[in-house]
Structure 1
């Protein structure tokens, strides 16, 4: 990222009321793990911006500690976690683990913003079951998983109306 783009992003984050992060880890063509960190800023007038905060190559392992260190370093380059309202992850064990996973390391470091599982990844996981041999059984399983996910969100954040 050039200096002008980095300064612009730094100014956006400094002036925003809140920001959220979206994390996705995948593997490139050279079989190297890449962590994409997107940031969405919300300004005082409710305008928002979405930018790529950082692209971090994860050499070696992709454990929760590796992801946490990469996210922490990226956020600290542009400010702190004080204004972070939410972090969205892909639901991998390294992200969601409450001990040595990313979520657990956030808590251990007193970073209290909620982490949620991206709904698109939830939908993709449910869609995988539709390709099974028994489509009716798969649809029921999908339905139960999605219903359980919504129940978890209601328990954590309240306000969802479930009509299953």
Structure 2
């Protein structure tokens, strides 16, 4: 069933669409590394943000390894790197490295792609240098966003 959904929903809708990726690494409870990919594309008259894939990394977590996993998934879904207009990551060397990072391997496939550093990771780095008062406000903001995002019904409500 999940394979059918993946083929019909993700792969078929994306074959003729331009899209952007957000890729980050994660480690599960059994200490296995997994790159997570989310995708943003236009479907009709709306912008869709959707989970794309999560694959287990069997050996190292180098940029080339992440690229090979992503590339094999793209081939499986018959997606082209030429349709990818942007990639957003956390700025780690394995992701953004100019020689061996994921972004450098993707740029070999599509030199026009735009690479960006995730704004949430930039905020975390910035928060380390805040004054005490400003940090209190920032922490309250983070708590409010987390409260909303961890409750699906509240996250779907549009104001």
Answer yes or no: same fold by TM over 0.5. Answer: yes
| 3-state SS, counterpart of residue 115 of structure 1 | strand
| 3-state SS, counterpart of residue 128 of structure 2 | helix
For the Cα contact (< 8 Å) 1:90–1:121, is it kept in 2?
yes
The residue aligned with 1:12 is 13
For the Cα contact (< 8 Å) 1:95–1:101, is it kept in 2?
yes
Q: TM-score, normalised by structure 1?
A: 0.71
Quote how far apart the aligned CAs of 1:108 are: 3.1
| 3-state SS, counterpart of residue 88 of structure 1 | strand
Structure 2 regions of 5+ residues with no counterpart? 136-159
Summarize deviations over 1:28-60 as a string: whole Å, max 9, x none: 1111111101111113x4412222111011122
Q: Does 1:91 align with 2:85?
A: no
For the Cα contact (< 8 Å) 1:81–1:111, is it kept in 2?
no
| 3-state SS, counterpart of residue 26 of structure 1 | strand
Quote how far apart the aligned CAs of 1:110 are: 4.2
For the Cα contact (< 8 Å) 2:24–2:89, is it kept in 1?
yes
The residue aligned with 1:34 is 34
Structure 1 regions of 5+ residues with no counterpart? 140-164
Q: CA RMSD in A?
A: 2.2
